[in-house]
Amino acid sequence: MYDYLIVGAGLYGATVARELTDVGKKILVIDKRNHIAGNVYTEKVEGINVHIYGPHIFHTNDKTVWSYVQRFAEFNRFTNSPLANYKGELYSLPFNMYTFNKMWGAVTPEEASTKIEEQRKAVGIVKPKNLEEQAITLVGTDIYEKLIKEYTQKQWGRPCDQLPTYIIKRLPVRLTFDNNYFNALYQGIPVGGYTKMVNNMLSGVDVRTGVDFFEHKDELMKNAKTVIYTGSIDAYFNYSLGNLEYRSVCFENETLNKPNFQGNAVVNYTDAETPWTRIIEHKWFEFGKDEEGKNLPKTVISREYSSEWKPGLEPYYPVNDDKNGKLYEAYKELAAKELNVIFGGRLGEYKYYDMDQVIAMALEKVKTL
């Protein structure tokens, strides 16, 4: 008999498993995939830690979370500075003085803010109601047209005027020359990959991979007092109230016989003609891999494609618009009636959480148990 059955060996599951094990609870973690670590899973290919489910850069302002993860991994000083490629023109991200200089020739912060203000006024937005209006308010029409509009349409499969404002507010806008994509005090990548980190988190915990919760639900639930479920909340209820919408991504991985393909970990393709949203060159997430290829003569790249989720695909991003928000609330009511089952994580709570938020939520939840 287990005190807790944890469904999903991602960051939420691994954090609660660690904490509950450390207070003497008997835990079983299962995952339907044949590996741990959920979507932060990394796998070594040609000596490079490949982010199999897309790029994950750990960043946080939460000192508790940062100290917590240090227990399980050493972090390097990687700083995410993606580039935008619009029809072959390269721009710095996030939107900062380098971007404004390339776009308009603006040299001073004053010139850049005047330009943004001019473009914002011309469109006449008072209170942004959707992502399009929010983006124009933040950076003006030129940047919206070249770096946001088509990328967002590809990423979300919806036009920007049908998306919520908060998505674009994830990105900083700065009148300084600073290409750091995140406004976070702490940032880095675990040396040796995320799988190693999650493996350390799960040390001494009973873990079974390749086990589908729904296939063995009755038996598994009989053997545990409480279930902590981190899969999709609508899947748990067999989609009885209808499907929540998710965006899915898939990757086309390629190993190239050259040491350096794009000179950066992440390049976003912001035009509509390029079918992928971004290309990841995994070796640049870690250091000591010099571009002449003395250490690593090859490189591994992943082209990322975005699509609407349908059964059989992996759900990645919740589509947190009004319609889905209402449906989620209805599922949440069902969840509240499911005594002895706790729903957590990005899929369990249907929220666009970053890794640090997932860990913070898991630590909070454990305090209540």
Task: Give residues in contact with ligand UDP (CB under 6 A).
Answer: 84, 93, 147-148, 151-152, 155, 167-168, 170-171, 268, 270
From 22, 170, 290, 308, active-site residue: 170
Taking the complex as a whole, the smallest distance from the CB of residue 268 to ligand UDP amounts, in Å, to: 4
Catalytic residue among 18, 120, 278, 346: 278
Please say which residue, 152 or 357, places its beta carbon nearer to ligand UDP. Answer: 152
Nearer to ligand UDP among residue 93 and residue 360 (C-beta): 93
Task: Work out how close the CB of 73 gets to ligand UDP at its nearest, in angstroms, rounded to a whole number.
Answer: 21
> Please, which residue, 39 or 155, has the CB nearer to ligand UDP?
155
Distance (Å, rounded) from C-alpha 293 to C-alpha 291?
5
| Catalytic residue (choose from 18, 33, 120, 174) | 174
Least Cα distance to 334 among 220, 240, 213 occurs for 240
> Is 174 marked active-site?
yes
Min separation Cβ 277 and ligand UDP, Å: 8
Return the DSSP state at 75. B
Among residues 247, 281, 286, 349, the one annotated as catalytic is 247
Task: Choose between 231 and 318: whose C-beta lies nearer to ligand UDP.
Answer: 318
Q: Which residues, in sequence order, are CB contacts of 317 under 8 Å at separation 6+?
A: 156, 246, 247, 249, 352
- Distance in angstroms (rounded) separating the CA atoms of residues 61 and 107: 31
What are the backbone angles phi and psi of residue 123, rounded to the nearest 5°?
-85, -25
List beta partners, residue 90.
Answer: 85
Give catalytic status of residue 86 as yes or no. Answer: no
8 Å CB contact between 224 and 5: yes
* Cα–Cα distance for residue pair 332/147, rounded to 1 Å: 36
| Whether residue 304 lies in the annotated active site | yes
Token couple for 151: 């990328």
**Spatial distance between the Cα atoms of 274 and 268, rounded to a whole number of angstroms:** 10
CB of 118 to ligand UDP, least distance (A): 21
* Active-site position among 133, 245, 304, 349: 304
For residues 167 and 327, which CB has a smaller minimum distance to ligand UDP in the complex?
Answer: 167
Q: Please tell me the distance from the alpha carbon of residue 189 to that of residue 182, in angstroms, as a whole number.
A: 14
Q: In the structure encoding, which two tokens stand for residue 66, read together?
A: 């940062």
Closer of 132 and 286 to ligand UDP (Cβ): 132
For residue 193, the Cα-to-chain-centroid distance in whole angstroms is: 16
Cβ atoms within 10 Å, residue 81: 18
The tokens for 259 are 């040491």
Q: How far is the CB of 219 from ligand UDP (least distance, A)?
A: 37
Measured between alpha carbons, how far is 19 from 68 in angstroms, rounded to an integer?
Answer: 11
The CA distance from 287 to 296, in Å, is 11
Give the Cα separation of 162 and 29 in Å (integer).
Answer: 39
Q: How far is the CB of 21 from ligand UDP (least distance, A)?
A: 30
Catalytically annotated residues: 170, 174, 247, 278, 304, 352, 354
